[in-house]
Amino acid sequence: MRNKIIALLGFAAKSGSLCYGFESTVSAVRAEKAKGVFFASDISAKSRKEILFHCNRFAVRAFELKDMNIADLSKSTGKKCAVVAVTNNSFCDPIISYLTSDI
């Protein structure tokens, strides 16, 4: 499952369907472009709280990547970041399904 999420994030990055980092992610959420927000397990408590606040306010689903830290997320997307917003449902929906499945 982890490898599939990494692959989907990589494909999303190559297609230009990711917003990297806190400010870019919040901007995408506010502009209603973000289909889903994903953040590393070791993100700071303050950043986690603010991301969740904005996502709840604009009804965007947010998920912690429990088995991925900042280094893993950065490696899979090609840029150093702790949080990303996916702007394309073709990438976002499968990632959400992998994260919410009971397998």
Task: Write out the residue range of the structural domain in which residue 13 sits.
Answer: 2-100
Residue 64 is part of a domain; what is its CATH number?
3.30.1330.30
pLDDT in tens, 43-72: 999 999 999 999 999 999 999 999 899 999
Within the chain, which residues score under 70 in pLDDT? 102-103
pLDDT of residue 2: 85
> What is the tally of structural domains in the chain?
1
List residues bridging with 65 in a β-sheet: 40
pLDDT of residue 1: 79
